[in-house]
Chain A
Amino acid sequence: MTRDDIPWLSAAETATAIKTKQVSPVEVMQAYLARIERLDEQLHAYITVLRDEALAAARQAEQTVLRGGNLGPLFGVPVAVKDQFWTKGILTTNGSRVYRDFVPQADATVITRLHQAGTILLGKLNLSELAMGGTEDPPWGIPRNPWDLERTPGESSSGSGVALAAHLCAASVGEDTGGSGRGPASYCSAVGLRPTFTRVSRYGMTPMCWYLDTAAPMTKTVQDCALILGAIAGHDPRDPFTSRRPVPDYTARFGRDLRGVRVGLIRELYEDAGMHPEVKQAIHNALDVLRQQGAEVREVSIPLVALAGAIFVGVADTEGAGARDDILRTCAAELDRASRTRLQAAALVPAKVYNRALKARVLLRQQFLEVLHQVDVLVSATAPAPPPKHTALTAPFTNADDVRSRFFFRRAYTGCYALTALPAISLPGGFTTDNLPIGLQLGAGPFAEELLLGVAYAYEQATPWHTRRAPGAEG
């Protein structure tokens, strides 16, 4: 194996190569650092590259390998995280000029657990300001989608999506408030998981919305996703909402076919008139693959999904404004204009309206759970269209229908799982004729990540999408 081959490995393959001494942790780190140096000036995936720290950690890991011993399934793997996770002594910007000098005094629990799993922190990744999405002038550069540099990699874990598509890290942890992990995974042909809310500690993850944010494993493969989730999940006394349930082996269902698995296609999303025809065809094809694997597929209806985008914005933006009250009162001028005006508008929403959105959220969850008594896994596209051009994101709205479609309803696809606190995964589901990625989204009941990952793995292994390389990754 040459140094140039290393970054194309998955995280699991990298750890195996280290364990079997085909490569050393230092060689792995040098290979990634060389790619970052070569490609990231254009892609803007990273805010901070921890070159010296990562190389020092890799040298230590090399000594551990030489001493022998029981190395875990992620040992020596270079991981980069969204710059929303606190890292002790290391700049943590949250993608905002407001935090340009913020150096936390403690690690987020996710960072601690990644370290305990033997991974090496390679750097901190770019994101939309305050993990909101819609930043017009990102202080650390516009992240470019390696599948088409003129297109967005998705928001808000944009750097994670770019770094995975360009193979500038072996694995990543982003954050998902309403699709911030799954969206970039979809647009960059990567895997992104939103776990059940309370499955992973939020300690040290700067909040966007107190009751929607989750850490989100973002990876090149479903297996890597299962390994990263296994490493970071579990109770944490520093986040009182974390579940005390034991953390299972999330790879336990790998290699099994889908006989006995009931799959439901969400009608309200599949019949979205605004859906791109090639996305619709990709979902149709994905259902065929699931059937071939033995799954029983049917259509299900969740009527309130039609309003999920509105409910999501009503909850998320209002909570987001609450979480950022200090900034809005004292230093709003330092925010990006789009972030500032969006948060300011949300800060004005009356409590009665917010409460109504919270109630609708409960009703939406009831509808999801009713359907999840009939099927085990839900299917939809992750996004109704392939990644748009950067310029399309900031184009002015033309009328109320345009606002509804572009700002509210598109959030229903991923926001519905955030609102219902259910796990969902986006994985590569195909490509358009223009070679743009299409994401397939699977959702399941509370704490059903093991099933979700098992179904995702079966689909991934039956399709070629995860093996395709982005043009911008070839450098």
Chain B
Amino acid sequence: MALSKAERCRELAQLVGIPLIEAEVAEVAERFESLIRELERLTQLDLAQIQPVLVFPEEEMPS
């Protein structure tokens, strides 16, 4: 049986060790769903050959 948004949120939070306030679970779940929905748009990009970096190496621009 599929989990509800709130149940999925509770489960993930437990997994990462983040206690949630019960009265706010619905809001956290809504924010999470909204974030994931927006980030799903990135699946349309061809990123297969790209390595993620945290800090870009220094480079010169032509003057």
Interface residues of chain A, those whose CB is within 8 Å of chain B, are: 197-198, 210-211, 241, 243, 245, 304, 307, 310-311, 313-314, 317, 328-329, 332-333, 337, 340-342, 344-349, 353, 355-363, 365, 369, 372-373, 400, 403-404, 407-408, 420-421, 445-448
Contact = CB atoms under 8 A, between A and B. Distances in A.
Given A197-B56, A347-B18, A359 B47 contact: yes
A356 B55 contact: no
Contacts of A337: 24
Interface string B37-62: 11101110101001111111011111
A361 B52 CA distance: 8
Contact of A307 (B13, B17, B19, B42): B42
Range for the number of chain B residues in contact with chain A: 35 or more
A360 B53 contact: no
Closest 9 CB pairs of A and B: A358-B52, A345-B31, A445-B61, A359-B47, A345-B32, A348-B12, A359-B50, A310-B38, A211-B54
Given A310-B38, A340-B24, A408-B38, A243 B58 contact: yes
B2 interface: no
A115 to B, nearest CB: 28
A360 B62 contact: no
B25 to A, nearest CB: 9
B31 A347 contact: no
A329 B61 CA distance: 44
A386 B61 CA distance: 33
A360 B47 contact: yes
Given A341-B24, A362-B50, 12 more contacts: A198-B55, A313-B35, A314-B38, A333-B21, A341-B27, A345-B28, A345-B31, A348-B16, A358-B54, A359-B51, A360-B47, A362-B51
Contact of A356 (B16, B17, B43): B43
Nearest to A400: B37
Contacts of B16: 347-348
B43 to A, nearest CB: 7
Interface SS, A side: helix
Contacts of A310: 38-39, 41-42
Given A310-B42, A314-B42, A421-B56, A346 B35 contact: yes
Nearest to B45: A360
A348 B35 CA distance: 10
A447 B58 CA distance: 9
B51 to A, nearest CB: 7
A333 B18 CA distance: 12
B19 A329 contact: yes
B52 A345 contact: no
Contacts of A329: 17-19
A320 to B, nearest CB: 12
A347 B24 CA distance: 15
B9 A348 contact: yes
Contacts of A314: 35, 38-39, 42
A356 B39 contact: yes
B50 A317 contact: no
Given A310-B41, A404-B38, A344 B62 contact: no
Contact of B20 (A344, A372, A373, A421): A344
Contacts of A345: 9, 28-29, 31-32, 35
A356 B47 CA distance: 8
Contacts of B54: 210-211, 358
A332 B42 contact: no
